[in-house]
Structure 1
Amino acid sequence: MSTKQVEIFQATFDVPDKVKVTLNKHMLLIEGPLGKVYKNFKKIPVEMSVSGNKVSIKAINSRKKYYAIANTALSLVRNLCDGVINGYTVKMKIVYAHFPITVKTKDKLVLVENFQGERAPRVAKIHGATKVASKGDEVTVTGPVLNDVTQTAAEIQAMTQVKNKDHRVFLDGIYQYHKAKGIEK
């Protein structure tokens, strides 16, 4: 093992032309054609600064752990910038054998009705500025923030998981089959 001092990781990210980034203490505001996105970096141990169209991120220590955290923060900023320009889409398929499943949205909730003949609807939360649309046997989840879109899709899939039955036989549920950058119709 070497005893020489390792440089502290520092990276800069060039913000695309259509995007405006501002930093207020630990709150990063990113504005683009698809709207505004906020991200709080208070609990992420990095030093961040915005100057012009560049975002610079610096690790607070030279250990591998802080190098990884700084790269994660850089990836978050990159995904947020891509999201306000293009957006993200997750497509899901409704699968049922006997009882036809219906998916509805109400306020910030997704209601899955008649799942395996149940009377009460199963409920999942819609995160952030994500939009959920169902048409026929397909559910489309779109939005500008990758974390919010994928978390909403994961909650929809998880709430229709079959319990106390053989999952190889009872295949009813809502399953993700396509994930893409860009908002698709």
Structure 2
Amino acid sequence: MQLISFKEEIQIPSGITVSIEGKTVKVKGKKGEISRDFSFANFLNITQEDGKIVLEASFLGRREKAVVYSVMKHIKNMFTGVQKGYRYYLKIIFTHFPITVKVVGDEVQITNLIGEKNVRKARIMPGVKVTVKGEDILVEGIDLEKVSQTAANIELASKIRGFDRRIFSDGIYIYKNEVIE
């Protein structure tokens, strides 16, 4: 069943400025600025009226309606990011060989994973801050997608292949994520 007309509104919180140019939405707050392009949703009209972002579309099927709600959630995540920010926690786990993790430029270098001599590298996305504190790694930023992608890059770089994961549990794992208060 198709919806003939569809309209959703998102209230813009105080302290945030939004500018919309075509399908690109720019959100600016006290922590910074995020820009996102929604041109993949070519059936969707994004406008700004009276302190609200209005999403309008016509003749939506189930998939198109799901895309509209995804765009809404992305915009709300942008609001949360520029107001508060996001943080991911990762834990360094090793049994015999101590793993060394350090941040060098725009990458995280992991050495001595199960005694390996080579250096494993994980890319840090732009606008994301990574700090290593003992056996914890903190990944912080205002863009949820970049923060979560950086955390996933670190976790994936430390993945061990060719060993039984139940016995060789060495690696770096995401164990918590939160909105910074």
SS at match of 2:156: helix
Conservation of the 8 A alpha-carbon contact between 1:20 and 1:53? no
TM-score by length of 2: 0.93
Deviations 1:106-154 (A, max 9, x none): 2221111221222221111112311111010000011111111111111
User: After the TM superposition, which residues 59-70 of structure 1 pair with which residues of structure 2 at under 5 Å, given as runs?
Assistant: 59-70=57-68
Partner amino acid, structure 2, of 1:54: K
User: After the TM superposition, which residues 79-94 of structure 1 pair with which residues of structure 2 at under 5 Å, given as runs?
Assistant: 79-94=77-92
Match of 2:71 in 1: 73
User: After the TM superposition, which residues 14-163 of structure 1 pair with which residues of structure 2 at under 5 Å, given as runs?
Assistant: 14-45=11-42, 46-163=44-161
TM-score by length of 1: 0.91
Deviation at residue 52 of structure 1 after TM alignment: 4.2
Q: Structure 1 CA distance, aligned partners of 2:111 and 2:47?
A: 47
Conservation of the 8 A alpha-carbon contact between 1:30 and 1:37? yes
Aligned positions, number: 180
Q: Structure 2 CA distance, aligned partners of 1:60 and 1:40?
A: 20
Conservation of the 8 A alpha-carbon contact between 2:121 and 2:157? yes
Conservation of the 8 A alpha-carbon contact between 2:84 and 2:179? yes
Partner amino acid, structure 2, of 1:53: G
Unaligned runs of 5+ in 2: none
Conservation of the 8 A alpha-carbon contact between 1:9 and 1:70? no
Instruction: Give me the CA root mean square deviation.
Output: 1.5
Task: Name segments (4+ residues, structure 1) moved above 3 Å.
Answer: none
Partner amino acid, structure 2, of 1:61: F
Deviation at residue 101 of structure 1 after TM alignment: 1.0
Conservation of the 8 A alpha-carbon contact between 1:59 and 1:69? no
Deviation at residue 60 of structure 1 after TM alignment: 4.5
Conservation of the 8 A alpha-carbon contact between 2:111 and 2:120? yes
Unaligned runs of 5+ in 1: none
Deviation at residue 81 of structure 1 after TM alignment: 0.5
